[in-house]
Amino acid sequence: MSNVKFYKEEQIPLEMHKVRVVQKLILLPVEERLKKIQEAGNNTFLLQNRDVYMDMLTDSGVNAMSDNQVASMGMADDSYAGSETFNRVKSAIFEVFGTEHVLPAHQGRAAENILAEAYVKPGMVAIMNFHFTTTKAHITRLGGEVIEVLGKKGLVPVSDDPFKGDLDLDELRRTIEKYGPEKVAFVRVEAGTNLIGGQPVSLENMLAVADVCHEYGVKSILDASLLQDNVYFMKTREAQCKFMTTKQIYHLLADKMDIIYFSGRKLGFARGGIITSHNKKYINDMMEFIPLYEGFLTYGGMEVRSMEAMAVGLLESLDMEYINQGPEFIGYLVNELDKYGVPVVKPAGGLGAHLNCSEFVPHIPHDQYPAAAVATALYIASGVRGMERGSLSEQREPDGTERYAELELMRLAMPRRVFTLSQVKYCADRIKWLYDNRELIGGLQWVEEPKVLRFFFGRLKEIGYWQEDLAKKFREDFGESL
Q: Calculate the CA 43 to chain-centre distance.
A: 18
Q: Are 431 and 355 in contact (CB under 8 A)?
A: yes
Q: Which helix (H) or strand (E) holds 223?
A: strand 220-223
Using CA atoms, how far apart are residues 301 and 461, in angstroms rounded to an integer?
A: 37
Quick one: DSSP state of residue 324? T
Find all residues with CB under 8 Å of 424, minimum gap 6, and list them. Answer: 329, 332, 333, 336, 414
Catalytic residue annotation: 80, 132-133, 223, 266, 389, 455
Amino acid at 263: S
Find all residues with CB under 8 Å of 307, minimum gap 6, and list them. Answer: 76, 85, 86, 88, 89, 104, 270, 272, 299
Q: Where do runs of H (alpha helix) occur along 243-390? A: 246-256, 280-287, 289-293, 304-316, 320-323, 325-340, 357-360, 370-382
Burial (CB count <10 Å: 0-12, 13-18, 19+), residue 461: middle
Collapse the DSSP code of 60 into the 3-class scheme (helix H, G, I; strand E, B; otherwise coil) and give the result: coil
